[in-house]
Structure 1
Amino acid sequence: MPTKPAANPPERRGSTSTFVIGLLCVFSMAVPARIAAKAGPARVVSLNLCTDQLALALLPRERIVALSFLAADPGLSALSDRVGDIPLVQGMAEEVLPLVPDLVLAGTFTTRPTIALLRARGVTVLEVGLVSDFDGIRAQIRQVAAALDVAARGEELIAGMDATLAAAAPTGPARPARVLSLAPGAFTAGSGTLSDAVMRAAGLVNYAADKGLQGYGYLPVETVAADPPDLLVANADEQGYPSLNGQMLAHPALDRAVPAQDRPAVPGRLWTCGGPFTADAATMLAAARDRLLSRKD
């Protein structure tokens, strides 16, 4: 008759050891997973041009689920070349909800019905406003970086921006030059604007603010021609699309008042939204300042 196999204590102990080791391996794999789950939002959607650029500057690609359709426009976004294969959305709730975001970044004027619906569905939304100076940029970078749990990366961006600003600042006393930024239709920026902050960072006087303009508004071409600025930034459409508003920037009176050599090219995308890249606009204005002053010495 068949007999019961004899017990093999050493083999049983080996099986038990293998089982325990397996449990430890599973546990050790689960701990990093839980830690990673706490390392900030992993599925981020941005619905605003300015928050698009903050997300691109702060996050790795794998944590960005979607950006606004403006993010890929090189005429508007300073970081359009980083968008790559990231999906783009128009800002409608039916686009965003299927993405199952754990954080949505939006501007204070971003599609209000979408924001209301997302919040009603329990989606976390962080709204950020417009900034008007470099202190505002620093605060906003820190705000968004904290929400994304990438505070160290935020400080890196701020340090890089501050180094760029320090290099752009004038190094000695000199007659302050006046600079005017004109967009199509003679639209410009006076005091209390981000453009004004960029000009001051480059050691320049904002012509429009000097004329008493606060915020954004218009200056008559006749005023500019009669008392021309030292430098003129004429922000025409970078893609070359003609318009009646744009033709004003080529007005013969402006051509005579400010020669081509005193018209530095500073892309509007650098100071449409505030970000670490905005310091590059100050660098470009500083270079134009130095060229101007070197001719006048």
Structure 2
Amino acid sequence: MDILTRTILFLALLSPAAANSQSRVASLNLCLDQVLLQWAPPESIVSITWLSAQDQYRSAPVPEHVYLNRAQAEELLPLKPDLVLTGQFGAQRAAARLEALGFTLVRIPDAYSLEQLQVQLQALQDTLGALPALVEQRAQLTALLAESEDKYQQKEKSPEQPTALILSANNITYGSGMLEHQLLTRAGFRNLAAEQGVQQLGRVSLEQVVALQPDLLVFYGGDQDFAIAHLAERHPVVQRYFDRGRTYHLPRQLGYCPALAAVETLQQLKNKRSDIVGKE
């Protein structure tokens, strides 16, 4: 941790806004559940959605005292939360009901890009106070993006940049206009899907993967989630990517709560790029 980050964290601990994190907080949103479980004091959490207790989403222990709600306003009434968090679009009926009953409710903006992620993290800090882990996450994201901007802004689509291709469920790949694309390009990769004209989501066959010859294959989701992963592992050409360490798995959490996964993912992709360039 650098001196700047340590200073920010120290000031955050002294900030009066940190007292907000001790409020009784409830969440009606899966991502916000995860934010509370990982960044907020456990004693401040009174309720999260039932999804966060499921194995496919569980990323932190759920304290025994926390009530698992199904986004119904009536469930939160006896809990008397000081603050209720929800996303922009989900649980709208419950949110409106709680607001009508006088509860303090804050809609945290969703994040589908790095720019929106910065706005989301700011909104979380404005709402929850300067939680140390939240402040650190914002500082790291800002530093990584500034470094990427300085280093790669002049090298867009440069031949020296290694190439990458994302493979997801049902042969889906990610092109321009997606957070995943931004992470690749900010890490110093050329996204071959975007260069093939894919905007947002598209499809790619195993034959196309072999023909494009990306320097890095990026898998999204577990191997059990999509057939192409199994085909890739059996294909003699693509198997070389595994043998040479030219693969990377995007964390599942990036898809539903990038606030908790984007910084680590960007750093790991940057490290992967350095690894690849160093071996060339």
Per the shorter chain, which TM-score range?
0.7 to 0.9
* CA distance in 2: counterparts of 1:178 and 1:203, whole angstroms: 9
Given that residues 112 and 178 in structure 2 are in contact (C-alpha distance below 8 angstroms), is that contact kept between their aligned partners in structure 1? yes
Q: 1:212 — aligned with what?
A: 197
- Closer, same or farther in 2 for the Cα pair 1:222/1:65, shift >3 Å? same
Structure 2 matches for 1:105-254, cutoff 5 A?
Answer: 105-150=85-130, 154-163=134-143, 175-237=160-222, 242=224, 246-252=226-232
Shift of 1:286: 1.9
- Closer, same or farther in 2 for the Cα pair 1:91/1:141, shift >3 Å? same
Given that residues 251 and 261 in structure 2 are in contact (C-alpha distance below 8 angstroms), is that contact kept between their aligned partners in structure 1? no
SS in 2 for 1:122: coil
**1:279 alignment partner, one of 263, 272, 276:** 263
Structure 2 matches for 1:8-23, cutoff 5 A?
Answer: none
1:52 and 2:33 are equivalent in the alignment:
yes
SS in 1 for 2:264: helix
Residues paired across the two proteins, number: 254
SS in 1 for 2:165: strand
SS in 2 for 1:81: coil
Shift of 1:136: 2.1
- Closer, same or farther in 2 for the Cα pair 1:170/1:206, shift >3 Å? farther
* CA distance in 1: counterparts of 2:134 and 2:192, whole angstroms: 33
Structure 2 matches for 1:67-78, cutoff 5 A?
Answer: 67-73=48-54, 75-76=56-57
Shift of 1:72: 4.0
* CA distance in 2: counterparts of 1:188 and 1:98, whole angstroms: 45
Given that residues 170 and 203 in structure 1 are in contact (C-alpha distance below 8 angstroms), is that contact kept between their aligned partners in structure 2? no
Which of these two proteins has the greater Rg computed from alpha carbons?
1
Gaps of 5+ in 1: 1-34
- Closer, same or farther in 2 for the Cα pair 1:81/1:41, shift >3 Å? closer
SS in 1 for 2:250: coil
Same amino acid, percent of matched pairs: 29
Task: Return 160-169 or 82-91, whichever deviates more.
Answer: 160-169
SS in 1 for 2:95: helix
1:83 and 2:62 are equivalent in the alignment:
yes
SS in 1 for 2:194: helix
Superposed CA RMSD: 3.3
Q: 1:16 — aligned with what?
A: none
1:104 and 2:84 are equivalent in the alignment:
yes
Given that residues 254 and 260 in structure 2 are in contact (C-alpha distance below 8 angstroms), is that contact kept between their aligned partners in structure 1? no
* CA distance in 1: counterparts of 2:27 and 2:202, whole angstroms: 29
TM-score, length-scaled by structure 2: 0.75
Given that residues 44 and 104 in structure 1 are in contact (C-alpha distance below 8 angstroms), is that contact kept between their aligned partners in structure 2? yes
Code of the aligned partner of 2:42: R
SS in 1 for 2:32: helix
Code of the aligned partner of 2:247: R
Code of the aligned partner of 1:67: I
Shift of 1:289: 1.6
1:288 and 2:272 are equivalent in the alignment:
yes
* CA distance in 2: counterparts of 1:169 and 1:277, whole angstroms: 20
Given that residues 21 and 131 in structure 2 are in contact (C-alpha distance below 8 angstroms), is that contact kept between their aligned partners in structure 1? no
SS in 2 for 1:264: strand
1:65 and 2:49 are equivalent in the alignment:
no
TM-score, length-scaled by structure 1: 0.72
Given that residues 168 and 282 in structure 1 are in contact (C-alpha distance below 8 angstroms), is that contact kept between their aligned partners in structure 2? no
Post-superposition, which runs of at least 4 consecutive aligned residues in structure 1 deviate over 6 A? 166-174
SS in 2 for 1:265: strand
* CA distance in 2: counterparts of 1:207 and 1:254, whole angstroms: 20
Shift of 1:204: 1.1
* CA distance in 1: counterparts of 2:26 and 2:236, whole angstroms: 45
